[in-house]
Amino acid sequence: MARAKAGSIAQSGVPGTQVGNTYPQTTRGQGQTFAELSRISQRTSYQVGLGTPGWGQTVDQPLAAAPGYLRYLDITVLGASGAGSGTQTLSTLPPGVDIGVHASAILNNVLFRDAAGNTIYSLTDPIALYAINMYSGQGGVLQAADPALWPSYSSISVASGTAGNFMFHIRLPFEIAPGGLGTIAVGAANLQPSLHLGIVPSAAFTTTAALQTTLPAITVEVDANYWAAVPGMAPPDLGTTLQWQQLTANPSVVTGSSSKITLGKSEGYITTLILLFRDSTGQRTDYMLPGGIQSSTTKPWTQPGGIGNRLQLWVDSVLVLDEDIHEVMDRMYCSFPGLAITSNRLPIVGSIVYTFRNSITQAVLGVDDGALWMPVTPGSLLEIGGVGWGSFTNSPGNITALIGSIVPGPGGVQQGLANIAP
């Protein structure tokens, strides 16, 4: 994965065509910050109708320039005019089937690069963007951290007259903390970042949702939310980015074993580590977790006598966290208290989250001073250990790691209260 290069477009001196400035014409007070003088703004980037041929296609529309610094992209996908008879309701789909959890699972490839070519997002797991919205602290907070609970969300229909229709709105976030930390300069019309979206083929959609006689026509809309430019000022630590990489752990997890699994290497400051557990069929499952017993549908964190099934996090061969699996689940709930509890766990079956964004409050509220960010060097090795791994049917299984890490810009990144009062 491409990592941050020295400098951003805004700092590199690369010439570009600047779009019009929308800075409000007010008097600047002594010592006022960028956030106090700027304003949060939004404009459309593009809307494209792909129709029914959109299934299995990619969207690579150029992003429109905006006079400022990008906070996040709003991605909305509409599936309309579908018809057919539902073969099963979404509520009866196995919980590990991604499309039954959130319709954004139709996106099987999300790639975002800034204008300098640095990869900010590289995601191919269909549930990855949904999990990042829920657990990163960069989207909504408390109940609003779950895009499936947003007022606009319409899950995939299985009614015979409208089978396959849906609408979802989800964010691709960049801002790390209020005030502009982590935002990306997008003011140069000829020096824009790029967004690539891949859509699942129709076969992957129809076999998991409904029997389609008419596939829904797809429309994709992308809007840009940004801090407006302020003459002579920039957001704090410009060039610093929170980059998300997806890694496949090695080796695979063998049912009933006790072993350490290598997640891979990262650099910078890790803010969030999300682990997705999938069996050999690709379905997410909780039974891979320590103490799970699929044959008796036992989830160890809810069973009497289930103590002693431990999950461990290692960094550079140093044991950082050694927790019983019930402690892991309860810790996750304390970090994300607004999310709904289903089947004695947070949303997204087969997921475990380590957050380092709760230095100010125990709950992840999108505001922290960076004191708990986990520093790692470019050669740092992350490992996860199961003592012992669960007993699951379709073995071996795999762990996908979604690692959110802050890569400092040329001037570094300041930790402390400056992040919440820039």
CA 197 to chain centre: 14
Q: Is residue 11 part of a domain?
A: no
Would you say 396 and 389 are in contact if contact means Cβ atoms under 8 Å apart?
Answer: no
Q: Do residues 223 and 252 both lie within one domain?
A: no
Six-digit token string for 167: 């609408």
Q: Do residues 312 and 343 both lie within one domain?
A: yes
Out of 203, 237, 271, a domain closes at 237
The span from the CA of 346 to the CA of 337, in Å, is 9
Out of 237, 255, 290, a domain closes at 237
Q: Do residues 174 and 248 both lie within one domain?
A: no
Residue 331 belongs to domain with CATH number = 2.60.120.20
Q: Do residues 61 and 195 both lie within one domain?
A: yes
Out of 171, 205, 237, a domain closes at 237
Q: Do residues 37 and 70 both lie within one domain?
A: yes
Q: Do residues 161 and 285 both lie within one domain?
A: no
Q: Do residues 184 and 333 both lie within one domain?
A: no
Q: Do residues 265 and 154 both lie within one domain?
A: no
Which domain covers residue 229, as residue numbers? Answer: 17-237
Per residue of the chain (422 residues), what is the pLDDT tens digit? Answer: 333 333 333 333 333 434 444 445 455 555 689 999 999 999 999 999 998 888 999 999 999 999 999 999 999 999 998 887 655 555 556 666 888 889 999 999 999 999 999 999 999 999 999 999 999 999 999 999 999 999 999 988 877 778 788 999 999 999 998 889 999 999 888 889 999 999 998 877 765 555 667 889 999 999 999 999 999 999 999 999 999 999 999 999 999 999 999 998 788 999 999 999 999 999 999 999 998 999 888 887 887 657 889 999 999 999 999 999 999 999 999 999 988 887 788 889 999 999 999 988 889 998 888 889 999 988 889 999 998 899 999 999 999 999 999 999 888 787 665 555 44
Q: Is residue 76 part of a domain?
A: yes
Q: Is residue 25 part of a domain?
A: yes
Q: Do residues 268 and 320 both lie within one domain?
A: yes
Q: Is residue 1 part of a domain?
A: no
Q: What residues form DSSP beta bridges with 107?
A: 199
Q: Do residues 173 and 258 both lie within one domain?
A: no
Q: Is residue 255 part of a domain?
A: yes
Six-digit token string for 196: 């690539």
Q: Do residues 267 and 388 both lie within one domain?
A: yes
Q: Do residues 204 and 308 both lie within one domain?
A: no
Residue 46 belongs to domain with CATH number = 2.70.9.30
Closest CA to 7 of 268, 270, 227, 238: 238
Parallel, antiparallel, or unpaired for β 184-185 and 166-173? Answer: unpaired
Q: Is residue 389 part of a domain?
A: yes
How many domains does one find in the chain? 2
